[in-house]
Structure 1
Amino acid sequence: MLKGRQAFLEEEEKNLAPYAVKSNASAERVYEEEDHPYRLPFQRDKDRILHSQSFKRLEYKTQVFVYSVGDHYRNRLTHTLEVAGVSRTIAKVLGLNEDLSEAISLAHDLGHSPFGHAGQEALADIMRGRGGFEHNKQSLRVVQKLERKYPNFPGLNLCYATLAGIMKHGGDYDLSDLNIQRREDGPSLEAQIVDYADEIAYSTHDIEDGVEKQFLKLEDLMEVEIWRRNYLESKIKYPTAKDELVLRATYRNILNEFVSNLITTTSANLSGLGISSIEDVYKSFRNKKRIVGFADTLTEELKELKHFLWNQLYRHPDVMRMSENGKETIHLLFQYFEKNPSKIPDSYLEREKEEGRDRIICDYIAGMTDRYAVETLKSEGIFWQPY
């Protein structure tokens, strides 16, 4: 039996919660398109993001460790895939639109610069007073303008609901009807769980990468409550297992605890606040009533974990050295292209009159991978230092 668009719409009506975003009411795009016969709108959005050039580049963009450190550490692509997996699980259990949450997850870091947060800091510093730079805003810019794959519109022409999910509340986005609505109504539940899935993913997998690189010591981690509890439980449950397998069990258990707690707490909040429609979700936002979140105890434990990671991993001397190298690379590239605009690709130069040289250089560098940025320095004979 073949199933088409109408059958999938009927399944959404039957299976999704009344406060979920549904395709039949939320499929509007900037540029009108014909409906696909067997793919719903958010599935099309997800596929467009997956096939974009910006998504492919995530493989060689830093999460914590640059690509040259080793093959088994997270990069911006593997992080994104983990966020998508976590958000899809949460959405499914809560009866939300899995395709929408996954699409937002896959797009959430498309605007991230090379060299992780150090790269963002460098571009933000350079662009201060010139229009600024912020990676969430850049992600929206990528899908609305910078991607060029379709002859009849710029960007990916994603649904408004997907675009609104990519936007962070309070961000300095260009004034538009979408921005005004996002500020007034707040994010959908699908977008809210992506924010938490992002936090869950990087907080848990950064522990694993830090231990793997021997930047984080087990004796120090034992001072962190969520680690200590899950590690000791894993030791008791697997008394004869090798240390490496006990560690891996601990990573999984911490991830599972965050996800499970988010689901149960959010479910209780939905019931307690009487949420029975999307309008109730927006009303709750306007009344500053939180729906998605952890229990208070786990919120404090997450804060403790993030504080630990900041001090012990992100501020580790070797990580700081890599970060400073990344910042210097971006500053040197920007200076070079300011003086040598002929080296900027035509696809960016054609927008110079409209947006100015600073912005197109920023777009070009933000889209680079770590590897391409370093290779560009080498090929132009500017500067190079091993990462």
Structure 2
Amino acid sequence: MSAPITTADWLDFEDGWLAPYAMPSRASRGRRHPEPGHPFRSLYQRDRERIVHCTAFRRMTGKTQVLVAGINDHHRTRLTHTLEMTQLARTVARRLRLNEDLAEAIALAHDIGHPPFGHAGERALDECLKPFGGFDHNLFGLRRVDELEERYPQFPGLNLSFEVREAFVQHSGRGDAPECAEFRTAGAPLLEAQIADVVDSIAYDTHDTDDALGLGLITLPELGRVEFWARATDRVHAHTPGLSDGPLRVAVVRELLAWQVADLLEETGNRIGAAGVRSIDDVRAAAGPLVGFTPELRRLKSGLERFLRDRVYKHHRVLRMTANGNRILQALFAEYVRSPELLPEKHLRRWTGSEAVVGPPPPGWVTAARTRLDCLERVVGDYLAGMTDRFAQLEYRRLFLPSIEL
């Protein structure tokens, strides 16, 4: 029997396989807290496994993608969306000879900071926290993996590599936040990070359409007026005519995915060649995105996204659920800030720095620096952001409908 592959063997394989503009594991800027290497797992492979085993990753199964998680056993949640887009990220990275493990780790972590109730939940928390720096799910995701996960006695958080952590900041619109200072001189995103960002749109455009059909929010005749869907349907009919509605829907969704991935691979290869990219330094110095779609496919995707925005995301069933989630988070935020003793002890200790208080805090016991991450409002926001949809609903009932069992 041959000897097991070691980490050194894997790094040698990367040296021979990866394109010169890919990010090899041995070139990483490393971790915040130094650790010894592992005998048979590379740096990014360990990142991937730390993400998959952490609490925040598991909780994504109970967080909204379009509709509130748990209302239907078949529609997608944050977790299923993440797994689907991660598979796309690996496929694209492999075809371009990029670092699959890094692309996968970034994709797995990309939604880990989303609060309950989807984008409505993010807007609710941002409004509550506006005087204290606001809320951004990417920056919360970074804080989650850097500080809030509790899995190792040697250090806080997951101690992920610089390159995986950097991707949180690159996807955030708040590059001036204090958390971003460490990453400001890194340059443009690595190709592996750009891939994760772009395949995210492939997954949610396609799968939100699929879910909306399955939930009865839209119909096939309505979608037939969307050019991207209509042309994908024509492609399916060309090789598999006569399908009934159910199999046709599945086949068109598959065609949309394949079409977008093929276009992405071709256009990205063309951009890399046209820009003369031959190294990671070239990627870092690039003036614009190297990973992307052709103008024609961007036009088709924009048409589908307009349809989703107008007919799905603004559908009365979706709006009712998001409005309810908004009310729940705002009410919980106000109640916890008014009565912080209701917080679980470990969250309360983040604010007090000591044992939990009993009863209201003493007068003036408020952090002076209002944007600090340990002020009460920020601690409450982090607690709420970590909840699943179901837990937030249950906590609301416990606090405001006292007949429920505690």
TM tier relative to shorter chain: over 0.9
Aligned-residue offset at 1:186: 1.7
Instruction: Give the fraction of aligned pairs with identical amino acids, expressed as a percent.
Output: 39
Aligned-residue offset at 1:382: 4.2
Contact 1:169 1:186 (8 Å CA) reproduced: no
Pairing partner for 1:179 from 183, 186, 190: 183
- What is the number of equivalent residue pairs in this alignment? 379
- Distance (Å, rounded) in 1 between the aligned partners of 2:61 and 2:31: 29
Contact 1:84 1:106 (8 Å CA) reproduced: yes
**Aligned residue in 1 for 2:34:** 32
Aligned-residue offset at 1:69: 2.0
What letter corresponds to residue 211 of structure 2 in structure 1? D
What letter corresponds to residue 337 of structure 2 in structure 1? E
TM-score (norm 2): 0.91
Contact 2:89 2:103 (8 Å CA) reproduced: yes
- Distance (Å, rounded) in 2 between the aligned partners of 1:254 and 1:178: 38
Say if 1:205 and 1:137 are closer, same or farther in 2 by CA, change over 3 A: same
Say if 1:170 and 1:336 are closer, same or farther in 2 by CA, change over 3 A: closer
**Aligned residue in 2 for 1:379:** 398
- Distance (Å, rounded) in 1 between the aligned partners of 2:64 and 2:34: 36
- Distance (Å, rounded) in 2 between the aligned partners of 1:175 and 1:139: 11
- Distance (Å, rounded) in 1 between the aligned partners of 2:129 and 2:49: 32
- Show structure 1 runs of 5+ residues with no match: none
Q: 1:77-131: per-residue Cα shift (whole Å, max 9, x none)?
A: 0001011111110000001010101101111111100000010010011111112
Say if 1:344 and 1:100 are closer, same or farther in 2 by CA, change over 3 A: same
**Aligned residue in 2 for 1:194:** 196
Contact 1:166 1:191 (8 Å CA) reproduced: no
**Aligned residue in 2 for 1:224:** 226
Q: What are the equivalent positions in structure 2 for 1:216-255 lying under 5 Å apart?
A: 216-255=218-257
Q: What are the equivalent positions in structure 2 for 1:293-372 lying under 5 Å apart?
A: 293-353=292-352, 355-372=374-391
**Aligned residue in 2 for 1:290:** 289
- Distance (Å, rounded) in 2 between the aligned partners of 1:116 and 1:8: 38
- Dislocated runs of 4+, deviation >3 Å: 381-384
Q: Which moved more, 1:166-175 or 1:266-275?
A: 166-175
Q: Which secondary structure does the structure 2 equivalent of 1:67 belong to?
A: coil
Q: 1:287-309: per-residue Cα shift (whole Å, max 9, x none)?
A: x2331110011011111111110
Q: CA-atom RMSD, angstroms?
A: 1.5
- Distance (Å, rounded) in 2 between the aligned partners of 1:377 and 1:267: 50
- Distance (Å, rounded) in 2 between the aligned partners of 1:274 and 1:119: 43
Aligned-residue offset at 1:233: 2.1
- Show structure 2 runs of 5+ residues with no match: 353-372
Say if 1:206 and 1:283 are closer, same or farther in 2 by CA, change over 3 A: same
Q: Which moved more, 1:214-223 or 1:88-97?
A: 214-223
Contact 2:138 2:172 (8 Å CA) reproduced: no
Q: Which moved more, 1:128-137 or 1:71-80?
A: 128-137
- Distance (Å, rounded) in 2 between the aligned partners of 1:236 and 1:217: 22
Pairing partner for 2:97 from 71, 95, 98: 95
**Aligned residue in 1 for 2:356:** none
Aligned-residue offset at 1:170: 4.4
Q: 1:128-171: per-residue Cα shift (whole Å, max 9, x none)?
A: 11121011111111111111111011110000011112222642
Contact 1:169 1:187 (8 Å CA) reproduced: no
Q: Which secondary structure does the structure 2 equivalent of 1:150 belong to?
A: coil
Contact 2:194 2:289 (8 Å CA) reproduced: no
